[in-house]
Structure 1
C-alpha cells in the first residue's frame, strides 16, 4: 500500500509528460504536471514530495525546450509548477503536524480511559476475570461504557454499565460511577442496597453540577455478586442488557424477574414498595458469567439485524477460561458487523474456578 501514492504521482507525471509532448497546440500537459506535486505533498513524506517537485520542474523545462517554446512560456510553466510545488510542500507540513497532534490527542484520550477504567485483576476470590473494551472508532477512544470488579466482605461484587453520553463528559460520569461503586460495595449489605446508594449518589452529583442533557442524566448497569464460596450468583439489573451464563456448552440469558430503573432516575420515588430483591442463581464450577454493554446486543449486520449471542454457534463452545470468552465474542461481533461498529463495546467475563483458593 505504501507504493500506491508513489505510483499515482508517477502515473500523473508521465501522463502530463506525454500530453505535453504529443498533444496538439494549444493543449498542454501542464495541469497534470502540476497535479503530481499536489498528490505527492498529500500522500508522501516531505523528502519524497520534494523529490517529486524537483523532478516535475525538470520535466516541465525539458519538454518546453524540446518543443522549442519561447523563454516566456517556458518560465511561466516553470513558475506555475514551482508555486504549486511549494504549496504542496506546505500542505505536507500541515498534514504531518495535524497527524502528530491527532496521535497525541488519541494517546492522551487512551491514557485517560485506562486511568478511569483500569484492567481488572486476573483472579479475584474464587473467580478468574477477563475484560475487553473496543471503541466504536479508533479516533474516539473515550466512551461511556465501564466495568469494575471488587472483592468485598460480602463476596466478589462487580458492575458493568453504560453512561448515556460520549467524550469527556461521559468519562467524568464513568469516573464518578466507578468511584461510587468501589466505595459503597464495601459496606452495602445487599446488592439492592448498593443499587439504591449508587442511585442516590448519581442524583446528588447531577443536582450538584446542575442540569445535564437527558441522554447524559442516567446510567444503565448490572450489579452482580458472587458469594465467597463461589456457589451463588446474585444479580440486579438497572435497565441494562441482561448478562449470560455459560456452562457446558450452553448459553442462557439471565433476564431480570423484575427490571429496575437505570441509576440516576430516582428509584425510591417511582417504586413505593421498594425495589425488587436480587435474582439469585447457582454458579457451577467452571461456569462463566458474561456481562456486556449494548455495543454487543445492538451490533447490526448489513441487513440491519441485531446480533444475538444466543443464536451464535461460536458462543456455544466449551470455554477453558474467561479470556477465551472475551476473544470469541469480540471476534463474533466483528464478523457479524463486518468490522463496522456504531457504539463502544465493553465485555466482562468471570469464571468460577474449579479449585477455590485456600484460606490461610
Structure 2
C-alpha cells in the first residue's frame, strides 16, 4: 500500500372534468401556500439583515408626525409642517403592512386637523388645501403599498420556482451513504439567487461511494442546463463504469453531445472543472480524478491536513484540445478522516484587500465533530473573510469515514413550506 503522502497512479485507461378541477384547485392551493411560506421566510430574513437600519425606517413615519407637531408648535404661524405629515404615509407604504400604512395616514390627517382646530384656522382655504393634499397622498400611499405587496409576492413565487428547480438539479445527498457521513452545501454569491453553475452529486454504487464536485464556466440558464447534463451523466456512469476514469470519460462524452446539441460551444466558455472521488466498500483509500479543479483537502482527526494535488495536471472536462489518458490518484483515508471537496468560489473568495481565502491555512489544526459542523464553520469563515461580499457561487461536499464505534450522526433536513432541501 502506498504512503498516504505519495499518490500512486493507476494504469492509464482509454477513453373526468369535475375531479380534475378539484385537483387543479388543490395544487394551486399548495403552490400558494408554498409561495407564502417563501415570502414570509424572506421577510424574516430581511428582519435579521440590517436590523438597525430597518428599525430606524419603521420608526421614521412616527418620527415624521412627531417632528411635524413640534415644528408647528415652535415656529410662527406662517411656517407649515405639512411636508412632514405628507411624507409619513409615503415612507410607510413600501415597508409597512396595509393596515399600518392606513393607520399612519389617519394619524397624519388627525394630527393636522388637531393643529388647525387648536389655531382656529381649519375653515380657511390654505388648511383645507393642506388636508386635501394629505388625503390624496394617503390614498396614493395605500395604492403604493398594494403594488409593493404584489411585487413581493411575485418575487417570492419566482424564488420558490428557482429553489425547486435547484433542488431538482442538485438534490441533497443522504447524510449516511455507504457507511460514510456526508454533508453538502450550495452557497449562492447573492442572497436572492438560487441557481448557478456549481454542482455536487453522490452515488452509492457497486464499486463504492462515488462523488463529483464541479464548476461550469459561465452563469445563467445555460450553466444550469450544463449542470443538469453533467449530473445526469454522472449518476448513470457511476452505476455502470468499472473505473473512476471511465466515469470521467462518460462525462466528457456527455459534454460533447451537449455541444453538438447547442450547435457548438466556445472552447473557453463550454468547459467544466471537476473532481471525481471514489471510496471503495470497506476500503481505507480514496481514489481521485482531478480535471482542472481546486485540490481536495484531507482533514485528519488530530488536526493534521493534506492537500491532495494530482500527480499529473489535467485539462477541464469539455476542452477538446487533445486526448490524454485519465490519471487516477490514490490516498490513504484512515478512520475519522474528512475529505473536503469544494469549488473555486471558496478558494478565490477575496477580502477588501484582495487577499484570497486559503481553506488549507484556515482549517489546519482545527477539529470538527462532523461534516455539517465543518461546512457551517467554513461558510461562516468565508463570510467573515469577504465581509459578506462574495462574487462567486460555492459548492461544498464533506465526507467523513467514521471511526470504529463512532455514533451515527444523522443530519436533519429542514423543510420550508412545500419545498425540501
Question: Is the shorter-chain TM-score for this pair beyond 0.5, marking a shared fold?
Answer: yes
Q: 2:286 aligns with which of 233, 255, 274?
A: 233
Query: Partner residue of 2:176?
Result: 123
Maintained 8 Å contact 1:230/1:352: no
Mapping of 1:1-360 within 5 angstroms?
A: 4-24=56-76, 26-69=78-121, 71-212=124-265, 216-247=269-300, 248-266=302-320, 269-271=321-323, 274-312=324-362, 314-355=363-404
Q: Is the 8 A contact 1:170 1:216 kept in 2?
A: no
SS, match of residue 75 in structure 1: helix
Equivalent position SS for 2:239: coil
Measure, in 1, the Cα distance between the counterparts of 2:258 and 2:160. 29
- Per the TM alignment, residue 20 of structure 1 is displaced from its structure 2 partner at its CA by 3.2
Contact 2:267 2:319 in 1 (8 A): no
SS of match in other structure, 1:89: helix
Q: Structure 2 length normalisation: TM-score?
A: 0.78
Deviations 1:292-333 (A, max 9, x none): 111110112222211112212x55223343223222322322
Contact in 1 for aligned 2:64/2:87 (Cα 8 Å): yes
Give distance in 2, aligned partners of 1:109 and 1:118. 13
Question: Hey, what's the Cα distance between the residues in 2 that align with 1:45 and 1:5?
Answer: 14
**Alignment length, in residue pairs?**
351
What is the distance in 2 between the residues matched to 1:22 and 1:353? 74
3-state DSSP class of the match of 1:341? coil
Write out per-residue CA displacement over residues 122-144 of structure 1, whole angstroms, 9 at most, x where no aligned residue: 22224221112222222111121
Instruction: Please give the per-residue CA displacement for 1:7-47, whole angstroms capped at 9, x wherever unaligned.
Output: 21111112222333443364311111111111121221111
Higher mean displacement: 208-217 or 182-191: 208-217
With 335-344 and 137-146 compared, the bigger mean Cα shift is at: 335-344
Query: C-alpha distance in 1, partners of 2:277/2:58?
Result: 56
Which secondary structure state, in structure 2, belongs to the residue aligned with residue 185 of structure 1? helix
Deviations 1:177-235 (A, max 9, x none): 10000111222232222212211211211211224566651111101111222222111
CA deviations on 1:117-170 (whole Å, 9 max, x unpaired) are 111112222422111222222211112111111122322211001112333332
CA distance in 2, matches of 1:80, 1:213: 60
The structure showing larger relative contact order (alpha-carbon pairs under 8 Å, at least 6 residues apart) is 2
Q: TM-score, normalised by structure 1?
A: 0.90
Measured at CA, do residues 331 and 5 of structure 1 come closer, stay the same or move farther in structure 2, by a change above 3 Å?
A: closer
- 3-state SS of 2:240 partner: coil
SS at match of 2:340: strand
CA gap of 1:183–1:327, structure 2 versus 1, over 3 A, is same
Distance, in Å, in 2 between the alignment partners of 1:346 and 1:146 is 6
